[in-house]
Chain A
Amino acid sequence: MTRFTKLAGAVSGLAIMLGATWAQAEVLFWSTQARPVEEAQAMRDNVLKGFEGGVDYQPNEDGPWLTRLQAELEAGSGSIGVLGGLHGSFSAMNPDDLVDLDDLGVVSSSETYNTLAKLGTDHLQYVPWMQASYIMAANKQALQYLPAGADINALSYDQLIEWTANVEAATGEKKFGFPAGEKGLKHRFFQGYLYPSYTNGVVRTFASDEAVVAWEKFRELWSHTNPASTNFANMQEQLLNGDAWIVFDHTSRLAQAFNERPDDFVAFPAPAGPKGRGFMPVLVGMAIPRTAPDLDAAKALVSYMLKPETQIATLKATNFFPVVNVELPADVPPAVKAAGDAVAIMSASPDANPGLLPAGLGDKGGDFSRVYVDTFERIILAGQDIRSVLDDQKAVLAKIMQDSGAPCWAPDAPSEGACPVE
């Protein structure tokens, strides 16, 4: 037993030595964003170092993030100082659990965002922190197969389908990549891109005849899509390893491809349908839970994060764009440059049809997205009849809207009370 005892002794000695070196009293920044190791490290080293008093930046998966927060709220005391999360994460919370932030005097430069951040109350529940969007990206090898006369910065869905078909004809491989994996953000494509582009709505027009056309088109696109897409979640990986040449994804989930091989890829706007070029922002915010141990330090950290220089540092660290007006420096990473240009062209295009994030769904946000994912799986993966699937799912969606009482958001026409599914 001696060797084992020795080993145990050595191990526990090492452990005690390592465990003893802990600093305390920093503000705990509990975030679901900037989770990839490199981004988390950049947040600590380049963004948060400048904050007096120190910040302990801890990114987490959504599950532990929420569970921990709920536990602290229920126990009535906690260690989380500042929360970082998507608009959807905050809108699922009880606004009473978040400290009102009106007196901070810092807000984003977008009135729309500031209104969203009130979560339906009269006070600011979270402060917009950074934003992003979804765009398209392609390997430059694919450009030669663009349909004749197509402008990559003003593609239509028909041209995109033709393009992917050309690539398949030329290479013998399906090279369109779609983040349809378990962790992929496919539902945002349907909610913010496909539906607005074809039906000028998301909820009202869910089962309309235009929606049937939209799904037919997507089915066509899917026939040229890499079938392994049901495993894809970060399209930068498939861009880099060549499994996909043309992809759709979140800007920060494409960033690594542009940063590693900036000369090999192009970023461009999402395609347009009959009802315009639908696209959707991603909004990330910061909030302070009512159990924050040091309210003043937490508020100071939120203010610090909205300073122009911090916002630029955040942009470089995470590839998420500022929410306040800042002058972008010349030395931004290639991914930021590429994505920034694509988003700018997208929002400035004459047929732009910007949508808003789903709002007012409360804790039904997950169920809402589930409807679109289920519809996708039934129509595209299981090959069921489009009309009957939409009629089925319509009832589910209508119930979610009824239960949450959420009014319509753009591009759906405004509603009195809960947004109806027509």
Chain B
Amino acid sequence: MTPVTTAAPRAATKAPARRVYAASVLLLSVWVLGPIYLLFVNTLSSPEAVNSFPKSFIPQFDLGSLAFFAKFDGMLAALGNSVIVAAMTMVMSIAIGAPAGYALSRFEFRGKELFRLLILLTRAFPLPLLALPLAVLFIRTGLDDTTFGLALVHTTLAIPFAVLITFSLFSGIPIELEEAAWTLGCTRLTAFTKVVLPLILPGITASAIFAFVISWNEVFAAAVLTIENRTLTAFLLQKLGDAPIHLKFAGGFILVTPALIFIFAVRKYLFAMWGIANR
């Protein structure tokens, strides 16, 4: 989506170029919005309409499929758990990832390359492989079936992104800005909080969004490590696999909507970050 905001047409641009530009904007929008719209239409259609062909592109506003989920036991609690886990994942991955990104960008230290590699390596092992030993450990330590325990796992998954994003952001901010702040009486810490932090807040938001989405979408660990405190994804996805198709649509809709709302709410900060990155 980046080209959309950056490739602003100049006044001198000829009409064909503008048409290509408009076409690519349209294509990208349809690429993203098309499936979401179909999901929306099918969610609001009766089971018969979902199974029939050709499909209508106008929703009939049949709330049957959604009403089924509304009275499904444990839905709200699962939604709450998803939000708690995602929020904790956001906070923890930023709290751990941002200092690591700062250190990587500002300091030379022994084993820096190895450290960067190790961070990426946390994504190299598939969760189904890690889930068994993790679950055993969690049961023994009492972390089992807690939102905090699950958030720890999700944080591990989100940290590489947090580190890499913040690393590139810190690298984009000239050290001279900090040095200038030091000469004007700031300590290392106050220079960071007063000068650097405001500049990178949008970036932090972006990595928070990554953390949120990663946590929101993760199923396997959530299914194994929680029982009573299921997240929405684990709660629904386990059951949607074999569900009739109209409920699959409705379930998918329920899973997608909160994430969309969240991203929409923080979009301002995201766009601001692209501004920085493109400077």
Contact = CB atoms under 8 A, between A and B. Distances in A.
**Interaction A to B:** yes
B265 interface: yes
Interface string B169-196: 0000000000000000000000000000
A59 B238 contact: yes
Contact of B223 (A12, A60, A75, A236): A60
Contacts of A60: 223, 238
A50 interface: no
A71 B228 contact: no
B84 A58 contact: no
B195 to A, nearest CB: 16
A422 interface: no
B228 A36 contact: no
A149 interface: no
Contacts of A56: 227-228
B68 A38 contact: yes
A62 to B, nearest CB: 11
A43 to B, nearest CB: 11
A237 B205 contact: no
Nearest to A183: B241
Contact of B229 (A22, A236, A237): A22
Interface residue tally of chain A, by bracket? 35 or more
Contact of B242 (A18, A36, A75, A241): A36
A18 B79 contact: yes
Nearest to B79: A18
Contacts of B76: 18
Given A36-B239, A256-B244, A14 B223 contact: no
Contacts of A19: 77, 80-81, 84, 147, 229
B52 interface: yes
A52 interface: no
Nearest to A23: B228
Contacts of B145: 79
Given A1-B201, A4-B269, A75 B68 contact: no
B87 A8 contact: yes
Interface in A207-236: 234, 236
Contacts of B243: 36-38
A28 interface: yes
A260 interface: yes
Interface in B200-225: 201, 205, 220, 223-224
A44 interface: yes
B125 interface: no
B228 A24 contact: yes
A14 B139 contact: no
A24 to B, nearest CB: 7
Q: Among the interface residues B53, B68, B73, which one has the most CB atoms of the partner chain A within 10 A?
A: B73
Given A19-B80, A19-B147, A260-B47, A71 B220 contact: no
B83 interface: yes
Contacts of B147: 19
Contacts of A38: 68, 243-244, 247
Interface stretch (B34-42, B94-102, B114-122, B129-137): B129-137
Contact of A74 (B136, B220, B239, B242): B136
B95 to A, nearest CB: 14
A244 to B, nearest CB: 13
B77 A18 contact: yes
Interface string B20-53: 0000000000000000000000000001100111
Nearest to A20: B80
B80 A64 contact: no
Nearest to B52: A241
For the complex of A and B, list the 8 residue pairs with the smallest distance between their C-beta atoms, beginning with the closest.
A18-B80, A71-B135, A64-B223, A75-B139, A15-B84, A15-B83, A36-B242, A240-B51
Interface of B: 47-48, 51-53, 68-69, 72-73, 76-77, 79-81, 83-84, 87, 128, 131-132, 135-136, 138-140, 144-145, 147, 201, 205, 220, 223-224, 227-229, 238-245, 247, 251, 265-266, 269
19 contacts: A7-B266, A15-B83, A15-B87, A16-B80, A19-B77, A22-B77, A37-B68, A38-B68, A38-B244, A38-B247, A61-B241, A64-B224, A67-B128, A67-B132, A70-B132, A71-B132, A71-B139, A79-B227, A241-B53
